[in-house]
Structure 1
Amino acid sequence: MSNPLSDLIAEKGVLLADGATGTNLFAMGLMSGDAPELWNKEAPEKITKLHQDFVDAGSDIILTNSFGGTRHRLKLHNAQDKVFELNKRAAEIARAVADKADRKIIVAGSVGPTGELLAPLGELTFEQTVEAFREQIEGLKAGGADLAWIETMSSPEEIRAAAQGALEAGLPYTFTGSFDTAGKTMMGLHPKDIHGVVESGEKPIALGANCGVGAPDILSSLLDMTEAEPGATIIVKGNCGIPEFRGENIVYSGTPDLMADYVRLAIDAGATIIGGCCGTSCDHLRAMRTAMDTHTRGKRPTIEDIVSTVGPLRNKAAANSDEAPRRERRSRRRA
């Protein structure tokens, strides 16, 4: 079925997604532990600036400031009764920026994990999880989001619940996992198996990987995903290097040149949507835009090509790892 994202892919071939939400909001004054979603009401001008900066840097897709927008996340800030309001406002802010741009910009409604474990590991039922995601996505739809952008997931069951919530709310969707534990997600999902997560109903527009532990590892996951389904529409939105503490601040090690190399490798490996996650600034995005616009797709890279260009893997590749991922709760949000 036709949708704005698929239409733009058909027009441009490869799209640039945006950069880090958390990292850039912290630079604007957000305090650690605060809910970014509350800024949709309390500091909308800062969210507008973030989206505008991403558009000006060349992004084709901007993600709403709603990653922690389920009732379960917002409950940590006594805002569980504001799910619809905060998500609607998040989408309205992004929609206003997109609509005044001089080119087509996709507004993707960011949907992160609930932070809870689903039964039988936890107390949250599948039906309750679907309802929580549907509630959030209805707000995003009301505010003008083009699709639900389900991201940073580790549990296949939670992906399925978010996908069902999107469909019940009447929005198409994409989803990405975070393959950050021995090359797999924390709940043991292998990159090559992501294509079979949603087995029935309307399939995602695109799927793939985000966050994780840096460019080399997400490119390794990309190779697994494109080898398993060469014709799939794949997203990679990798972290900008590795976080390092400098005094009290967290700084990511990736340079604009490294992220430009990452874009070229991602295109060669078969990605259709490429962006940056934690640590990715507008300086990085501008270099990524230039790389995307000037690169001619070349041969499919090997792991050795990736390592020689953007550095070593932090984890074993999923295909070479027998380590069982630990089952634990994820941190609150992507940075």
Structure 2
Amino acid sequence: MPHSLTQLLDAKGVLLADGATGTNLFEVGLEAGEAPEMWLESHPDRITALHQAFVDNGADIILSCSFGANRHRLKLHQAEGRTHALNRIAAELARAVADAAGRPVVVGGSVGPTGELLQPLGALSYAEAVEAFREQIAGLKDGGVDVVWIETMSAGEEVRAAAEAALACDMPYVVTGSFDSAGRTMMGIHPCDFHKAVDGLSRRPVAVGANCGVGASDMLATALELETGSPDSALVVKANCGIPRFVDGGTVYSGTPDQMADYARLAIDAGARIIGGCCGTSPQHLGAMRQAIDSHVRRQRPSIAEIVEAVGPLVNKAASAAGETAPRTGRRRSRD
């Protein structure tokens, strides 16, 4: 049976995913070095309020506050023994908001990197990574998420470990990487090769794409190079809201609602079917993106020059800059 993310994609064509978690929680008191996941028990009302603000501004997809809720990250806060419980709470908080929305809202269970390097570069074995993700995803499943949202990844082995864990829990999944190092992930993966990390698994991801790391212009440049590996996998992009600047002791992102609206329109033109924001993206930004998506008629694929003219200059060079073009063997994206 199709799950709700697939159903909603089929019904609406293009979906709006939510915005930032951490940077918005900083606005309501989260301290530097404090894990957002610790607020699941101490300040659940503030996390619920953020989910609600995203839904009120039109989000079709909200992600649970569980990005760093795996045993390896939680041990930094002496909370590794509460991995399952914290993930269940994160899912339940998002689920309650989605269920009260009065319209279909998908809950994605956010799963970020372990924070460890896998062998042979580090000490973590592949089997240990799978088990850590399985433990986290089991909690998210018990809390009621619709789909596992594996995000901000840079290493192919870790992507595969998280995807294998999702399948072990009988859950559909999404995978996104952070292409912030000269247009590639920190571990050197080209956008057109990212989907290969899950080749051979029993099920393909519902969506493949990119998040975080870069602002709207660079994210759109990445979108032009991304491949999903299957016509049944949607393209997803969640860009940071411009470039961070330090102002009066705090971090302020340069993106305006108008710029994020332009980004949303261009993302549709580039073939994306799930569009959201990452660091710095507020509910206000998301509201502008909702209006842009609802009123936009897809145009031809944009050029880099058109992207720069609309939303500003690139910070990184493109992954396939002169002399670095990677072979392209797969379909660029689904339903393009």
Q: Shorter-chain TM-score: which interval?
A: over 0.9
Equivalent residue number for residue 327 of structure 1: none
- Alignment of 1:252 onto 2:264: no
Q: Are residues 1:189 and 2:163 paired?
A: no
Question: Partner of 1:196: helix, strand, or coil?
Answer: helix
Against the structure 1 CA distance between its residues 228 and 108, is the aligned structure 2 distance closer, same or farther, given a 3 Å change threshold? closer
**Aligned residue identity for 2:47:** I
Per the TM alignment, residue 223 of structure 1 is displaced from its structure 2 partner at its CA by 0.3
Task: Identify unmatched segments of 5+ residues in structure 2.
Answer: 325-336
Matched position secondary structure for 1:23: helix
Shift of 1:247: 2.3
Q: Is the 1:226–1:232 contact (alpha carbons within 8 Å) kept by the matching residues of 2?
A: no
Equivalent-residue separation in structure 2 for 1:83 and 1:279 (angstroms): 27
Partner of 1:89: 89
Deviations along 1:176-197, one digit per CA (max 9) or x if unpaired, are 0000001000000100112222
Letter in 2 for 1:183: G
Question: In terms of mean alpha carbon deviation, does 215-224 or 192-201 score higher?
Answer: 192-201
Structure 1 residues 48-127: aligned runs within 5 Å: 48-127=48-127
Contact 1:54 1:282 in 2 (8 A): yes
Match of 2:242 in 1: 241
Which deviations, in whole Å up to 9, do the C-alpha atoms of 1:18-76 show, x marking residues without a partner? 00000111111011111111111111111110100000010000000000010000000
Q: Structure 1 residue 178 and structure 2 residue 172: aligned?
A: no
Cα distance, 1:316 vs. partner?
Answer: 0.6
Deviations 1:122-143 (A, max 9, x none): 0000000000000000000000
What's the counterpart of residue 326 of structure 1?
none
SS in structure 1 at match of 2:198: coil
User: What's the TM-score, normalizing by structure 1?
Assistant: 0.94
Worse overlay, 221-230 or 190-199 = 221-230
> What is the match of residue 278 of structure 1?
279
Deviates more, 1:35-44 or 1:87-96: 35-44
Letter in 2 for 1:295: H
| Letter aligned with residue 87 of structure 1 | N
Amino acid at match of 2:318: A
Q: How does 1:256-335 map to 2 (within 5 A)?
A: 256-320=257-321
Q: How does 1:202-221 map to 2 (within 5 A)?
A: 202-221=203-222
Maintained 8 Å contact 2:22/2:279: yes
Distance change >3 Å, CA 176–CA 116, structure 1 → 2: same
**1:5-44 to 2 correspondence within 5 Å?**
5-44=5-44
1:333 is matched with which residue? none
Instruction: Return closer, same or farther for 1:322/1:63 CA change in 2, 3 Å cut-off.
Output: farther
- CA shift, 1:229, in A, is 6.7
Structure 2 CA distance, aligned partners of 1:312 and 1:230? 31
* Equivalence for 1:331: none
What code does the residue aligned with 1:296 have? V
Q: How much has 1:322 moved relative to structure 2?
A: 6.5
The share of aligned pairs that are identical, in percent, is 61
Task: Give the corresponding residue for 1:164.
Answer: 164
* Residues 104 and 116 of structure 1, relative CA distance in 2, 3 Å threshold: same
Measured against aligned partners, the alpha-carbon deviations of 1:199-245 in whole angstroms (never above 9, x if no partner) come to 11211000100002101111111000159877741000000000001
Deviations 1:141-200 (A, max 9, x none): 000000110000000000000000111112110010000001000000100112222111
Amino acid at match of 1:237: K
Give structure 1 regions of 4+ aligned residues with deviation exceeding 2 angstroms.
226-232
